[in-house]
């Protein structure tokens, strides 16, 4: 494991997404909230990057900016040569809640992004993805008939059905029980290995970050800054039982020591 503080770039690989000096101050009635301060990251093509940090350190703020869902106060985010100022067709986002519409069945929830864009749904890809995540045959079920894990699988299918090259995930498994979370972590690792998508994944669980990531961006509390970036060199595919091995626990402990535990002000 190696650490490298500050703005990170790898001269040998082109950045898939480039975050340059991202700063965000929310304007509220009681004044400005400085959520992100001068964050620069080069996200590599095809990497699994985890953003790790305590609650309130600006992780979602950064991800929402990367998705083009809100603007930065200063700085810039690029996908290739495109500056991100609004949602981009190559970037999909998955949230902690599956956000399925309760009055639509699974199939029509998954087709919703196509309806919004007035495009024909890619039924062949949807069928393949449903099978891949174990939801084949559930197309006619309604969200209330599905477990939380199944709903989150459906939201993964909905995001991948538009064939994005970048997947942004904001604590996607944070609301699931520990067993389902392990299953989902295995699934997302497999999908990532099969598809070569670039994934940026937010978590406040150090173990989840070490299990999933190629690199972990450790953020410090408000205003959100990068405190360090850690390479995770554990071989893949990583099995769940890896989490009880000394080499895994060693990495978790090392990162624990890097987290800034000062209370947010």
Ligand X SMILES: Nc1ncnc2c1ncn2[C@@H]1O[C@H](COP(=O)(O)OP(=O)(O)O)[C@@H](O)[C@H]1O
Interacting residues with Mg ion (CB under 5 A): 60
169 binds ligand X, rule: CB under 6 A:
no
For Mg ion, give the closer residue by CB, 96 or 122. Answer: 96
55 binds, among ligand X, Mg ion, none (CB under 5 to 8 A by kind): ligand X
Give the one residue of 16, 18, 44, 59 binding ligand X; rule: CB under 6 A.
Answer: 59
Q: Rounded to the nearest whole angstrom, what is the least distance from the CB of residue 119 to ligand X in the complex?
A: 31
For ligand X, give the closer residue by CB, 46 or 75. Answer: 75
| Residue with smallest beta-carbon separation from Mg ion | 60
Residues contacting 117, CB < 8 A, separation 6+: none
Q: Rounded to the nearest whole angstrom, what is the least distance from the CB of residue 226 to ligand X in the complex?
A: 13
61 binds, among ligand X, Mg ion, none (CB under 5 to 8 A by kind): ligand X
For ligand X, give the closer residue by CB, 141 or 225. Answer: 225
Residues contacting 105, CB < 8 A, separation 6+: 139, 140, 141, 142
Q: For the chain, what is the HEC assignment?
A: CCEECCCECCCCCCEEEEEEEEEEEEEECCEEEEEEEEEEEEEECCCEEEEECCCCCCHHHHHHHHCCCCCCCEEEEEECCEECCCCCCCEEEECCCCCCCCCCCHHHHHHHHHHHCCCCCCHHHHHHHHHHCCCCCCCCCCHHHCCHHHHHHHHHHHHHCCCCCEEEEECCCCCCCHHHHHHHHHHHHHHHHHHCCEEEEEECCHHHHHHHCCEEEEEECCCEEEEEEEECCCCCCCCHHHHHCHHHHHHHHHHHCCCCCCCCC
179 binds, among ligand X, Mg ion, none (CB under 5 to 8 A by kind): none
57 binds ligand X, rule: CB under 6 A:
yes
Dihedral sign (CA 98, 101, 102, 107): negative
Determine if the peptide bond prior to 179 is cis (ω within 30°).
no
- Give the x/- contact pattern for ligand X in 176-215, rule: CB under 6 A: ----------------------------------------
Interface stretch with ligand X, choices 59-67, 109-117, 189-197, 241-249 (CB under 6 A) = 59-67
174 binds ligand X, rule: CB under 6 A:
no
169 binds, among ligand X, Mg ion, none (CB under 5 to 8 A by kind): none
Interface stretch with ligand X, choices 25-33, 134-142, 234-242, 245-253 (CB under 6 A) = 25-33
**By C-alpha distance, which of 44, 26, 27 is closest to 35?**
26
Q: Rounded to the nearest whole angstrom, what is the least distance from the CB of residue 169 to Mg ion in the complex?
A: 11
Q: Rounded to the nearest whole angstrom, what is the least distance from the CB of residue 88 to ligand X in the complex?
A: 20
Q: Rounded to the nearest whole angstrom, what is the least distance from the CB of residue 141 to ligand X in the complex?
A: 31
26 binds ligand X, rule: CB under 6 A:
yes
Which residues of this protein are in contact with ligand X, per CB under 6 A? 26, 28, 33, 35, 53, 55-61, 222
């Amino acid at each position: 494991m190696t650490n490298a503080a500050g703005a990170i770039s790898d001269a040998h690989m082109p950045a898939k997404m480039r975050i340059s000096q991202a700063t965000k101050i929310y304007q509220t009635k009681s004044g400005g909230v400085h959520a992100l301060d001068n964050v620069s990251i080069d996200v590599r093509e095809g990497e699994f990057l985890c953003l790790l940090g305590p609650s309130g350190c600006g992780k979602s703020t950064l991800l929402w900016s990367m998705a083009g869902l809100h603007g930065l106060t200063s700085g810039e985010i690029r996908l290739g040569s495109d500056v991100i100022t609004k949602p981009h067709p190559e970037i999909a986002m998955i949230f902690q809640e599956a956000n399925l519409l309760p009055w639509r069945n699974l199939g029509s929830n998954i087709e919703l992004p196509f309806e919004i864009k007035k495009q024909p749904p890619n039924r062949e890809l949807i069928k393949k993805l449903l099978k891949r995540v174990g939801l084949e045959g559930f197309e006619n079920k309604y969200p209330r008939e599905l477990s939380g894990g199944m709903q989150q699988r459906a939201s993964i299918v909905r995001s991948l059905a538009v064939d994005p090259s970048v997947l942004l995930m904001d604590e996607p498994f944070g609301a699931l029980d520990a067993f389902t979370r392990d299953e989902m972590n295995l699934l997302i690792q497999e999908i990532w290995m099969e598809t070569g998508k670039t994934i940026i994944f937010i978590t406040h669980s150090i173990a989840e970050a070490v299990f999933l990531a190629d690199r972990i961006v450790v953020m410090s509390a408000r205003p959100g800054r990068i405190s360090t970036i850690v390479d995770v060199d554990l071989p893949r595919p990583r099995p769940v039982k890896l989490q009880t091995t000394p080499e895994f626990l060693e990495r978790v402990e090392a990162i624990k020591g890097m987290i800034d535990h000062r209370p947010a002000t």
